[in-house]
Structure 1
Amino acid sequence: MSEDATENTDAEGRSARDRLGAEKERAVAGFDKGIVDILSWVLDTETRARIFVYLRQHPWSTSEEVADGTGLYPSTVREALAELAGEDVVDRRKRQSEGAGNNPYEYTAIPPSDLVGGVVGRVQDELNTVFNLDAHLGNGDGTETDAEPVNIEVEDGEDSA
């Protein structure tokens, strides 16, 4: 074995390339977990978040492909996809195929900026309800208005550049 080869291996016999590959996988897994955690709050469940991330990485996938790619049960994926499609978080279309037979639906997730826009509207409405709580309860000094003092605006990163 050459001197260079021994310098590039660790105590477990892994090469520098193997160690870098393992570190990359660990970093990606940590990144994906962080994204899923944030999206779980936005989309209500980790299942829906994992599906959203998968569809951003693999647009126009069938429910079977999503189940295989996420490790979720097919029935869970089908139910979540139906809900997400109903909420306009994913788009769906029939997959076109040459032969006769079943053409399954394929799904893609909306852009994250569109997802954020919907969330911002819900958060803004809830904050305004809390802000105007006394008026809704009939408490206070009578100076409350039905004005909505909380206004959240989201700009696309491309617009500000």
Structure 2
Amino acid sequence: MFDFRLVGLHFKSQTTVSSATGANKGVCDDDLRQWQSTLMLDELRRLTVADSDDDVVVVGDFNSPLSAEEFYPIRSNGLVSMIPDQCDASTQHGCSHLVSSSRFEPKVLDHIVVPSDMVEAVAESGQIGRLGTSVSNYRRTQSDHLEVWSHFYVDRDDD
């Protein structure tokens, strides 16, 4: 049996934190996401020690591409995204975050992240949903994010 821990998250958006108060006043959103990623890694380490299972899948809205500088702690701890970090901004094909305004650039913000030693079990299976309608209609009736998913191909548990 293959068992793993699934962690869902939603990191701070890229909009300005100008209204933040207290300890977060004046803190850059990138810094907040880096702090959030460090907290997530600390919690994952604690949970791994508690149950000795290091298979983890982290899924959610990172609100920035995983290649962004603020996610260095995640990448440096051997976690990789199964979702390609590149998309066509002109057509929004392959973008998980859909935009309807030129104020924002469409990007891949939603990820499925796994430890690098799990990549073989999920090789090239991360996918972003397809629109099937116009961006404005999808955003109005569904969401500003497309779904992400993956297939896991595992025949044994290695821990």
Structure ranking higher in strand proportion: 2
Larger radius of gyration: 1
- TM-score, with structure 2 as normaliser: 0.26
The structure in which a higher percent of residues are helix is 1
TM-score normalised by length of structure 1: 0.26
Q: Which has the higher contact order (CA 8 A, sep 6+)?
A: 2
